[in-house]
């Protein structure tokens, strides 16, 4: 009966469009009241789930991403990549994918990448309607797979896996998702017979745009190089990225002013607060599942049904793809990972590999209707652009139709990552 109360109330609240953190928290409290548990464990459990040194990396990465977006790095990245490949057929759409990968390596957040790049790239593809917005949303979802990724930090805080190993494990899968989207673009270009959108840039123009974009390219190199070289921890790397972003924004690009810092801190605080509320509520939900034996029963059921790791991997892909349709990545991590990762260990699956699989699934979930957060951010950006371009409004229905070929391409990449561990473990120490 406790299962019915917990999950039933959760899905009812979700259906009523209650925020995910409130849905998780309230359903947990309903279950506790029904079972007679003391509510005094709620603040203790929520606080302990958030009071982890590793999770300090989240506000720092959020702040550094906001600083670099304000510094105009997105515009410079777009200009350089456009100078390199924009002259090809479908070039601007390919630019969208490549720049999303690079900016994702700065922001670590899919919605932040859509917001920063969409205002630049969607107008350049505006004549494509829903396809342009869908491509922007899908390409931006790679941000939680390409390191540094907030989702990887959350996964590492749950399982105890090295954040550095998770970051290295996400490099090839993120590139593979990008290549899958490029293939979709090339198919679309050939089907529509679209011509190149610009002339080929000279090497001089490319060198000039590279020099201005260089400081943005250097940021992920500093973060990953510092972590993997043993110079600093992931949390320290996040703090270093903030300092680096301020130096670039204030003194090199000079687009960030002292007066902008207050707004940057407030925006970053709001984003971090939202993430932490979700983590706290999801951790409480997971606690209820553990205390009342739901997690153990689910683990036993998974082992019984799966039988071997190949069937288990199919099952978790299906579960995560469905979960991604309704909940965000951080919530899904806290709900499902504590149940699944012990089973993965028993079946001999590398935990870095397992974490990458889960994250790629949840990246796809960011563009899967009905609750694909990147889709709604892209729609918001498109709505703002209606004042610039007089085009038909992009709706969730239009986006949902346009995004399916991209989702299928990403699922193909997911299957390769799932069944060929090499893609996730090749860069690990001792792999």
Q: Mutual orientation of helices 20-35 and 41-50 as an angle, nearest 10°?
A: 140
In this prediction, residues 226-231 reach a mean pLDDT of: 81
The whole-angstrom separation of Cα 275 and Cα 329 is 10
pLDDT band, very low/low/confident/very high, at 393 (cuts 50, 70, 90): low
Closest C-alpha to 99, from 61, 125, 73:
73
Structural contact between residues 34 and 1, judged by C-beta atoms closer than 8 angstroms: yes
pLDDT tens readout for residues 402-425: 788 889 999 999 999 999 999 998
CA end-to-end distance (rounded Å), the chain = 46
pLDDT of residue 95: 82
pTM of the model: 0.85
Sign of CA dihedral 237, 239, 241, 247: negative
Q: Is the pLDDT of residue 188 over 70?
A: yes
pLDDT of residue 367: 84
pLDDT of residue 135: 81
Q: Is the pLDDT of residue 90 over 80?
A: no
Cα 121 from chain centroid (whole Å): 19
The whole-angstrom separation of Cα 387 and Cα 383 is 8
Q: φ and ψ at 197, to 5 degrees?
A: -95, -10
Judging by beta carbons within 10 Å of its beta carbon (0-12, 13-18, 19+), is residue 144 exposed, middle or buried? buried
pLDDT tens readout for residues 232-277: 888 888 889 889 889 988 898 888 898 999 999 998 888 888 888 8
The whole-angstrom separation of Cα 265 and Cα 246 is 12
Q: Which helix (H) or strand (E) holds 192?
A: helix 171-192
Cα 188 from chain centroid (whole Å): 25
* SS3 label, residue 268: helix
């Amino acid at each position: 009966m406790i299962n019915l109360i917990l999950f039933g109330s959760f899905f009812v609240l979700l259906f009523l469009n209650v925020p995910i953190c409130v849905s998780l928290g309230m359903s947990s409290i309903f279950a506790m009241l029904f079972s007679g548990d003391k509510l005094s464990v709620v603040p203790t459990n929520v606080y302990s789930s958030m009071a982890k040194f590793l999770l300090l990396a989240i506000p720092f990465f959020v702040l550094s991403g906001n600083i670099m977006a304000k510094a105009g790095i997105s515009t410079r990245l777009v200009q350089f990549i456009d100078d390199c490949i924009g002259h090809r057929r479908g070039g601007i759409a390919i630019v969208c994918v490549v720049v999303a990968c690079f900016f994702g390596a700065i922001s670590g957040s899919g919605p932040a990448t859509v917001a920063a790049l969409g205002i630049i790239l969607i107008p350049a593809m505006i004549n494509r309607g829903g396809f342009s917005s869908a491509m922007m949303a899908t390409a931006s979802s790679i941000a939680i797979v390409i390191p540094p990724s907030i989702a990887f930090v959350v996964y590492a805080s749950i399982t105890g896996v090295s954040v550095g190993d998770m970051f290295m494990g996400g490099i090839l899968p993120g590139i593979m998702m990008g290549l899958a989207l490029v293939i979709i673009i090339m198919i679309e270009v050939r089907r529509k017979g679209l011509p190149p959108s610009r002339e080929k840039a000279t090497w001089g123009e490319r060198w000039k745009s590279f020099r201005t974009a260089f400081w943005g390219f250097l940021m992920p190199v500093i973060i990953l190089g510092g972590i993997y070289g043993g110079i600093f921890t992931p949390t320290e790397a996040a703090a270093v990225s903030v300092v680096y972003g301020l130096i670039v924004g204030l003194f090199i690009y000079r687009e960030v002013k002292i007066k902008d810092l207050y707004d940057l801190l407030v925006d970053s605080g709001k984003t971090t607060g939202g993430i932490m509320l979700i983590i706290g509520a999801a951790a409480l939900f997971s606690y209820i599942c553990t205390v009342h034996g739901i997690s153990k029963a689910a683990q036993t059921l998974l082992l019984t049904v799966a039988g071997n790791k190949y069937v288990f991997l199919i099952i978790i892909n299906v579960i995560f793809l469905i979960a991604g349709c309704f909940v965000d990545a951080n919530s899904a991590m806290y709900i499902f990972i504590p149940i699944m990762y012990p089973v993965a260990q028993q079946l001999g699956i590398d935990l870095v590999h397992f974490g990458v699989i889960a994250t790629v699934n949840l990246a796809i979930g960011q563009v899967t209707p009905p609750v694909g957060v990147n889709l709604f951010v892209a729609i918001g950006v498109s709505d703002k652009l209606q004042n610039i371009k007089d085009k038909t409004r992009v709706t969730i229905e239009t986006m949902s139709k346009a995004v399916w070929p991209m989702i299928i391409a990403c699922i193909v990449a997911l299957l390769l990552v799932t069944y060929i561990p090499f893609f996730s473990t090749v860069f690990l120490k001792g792999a």
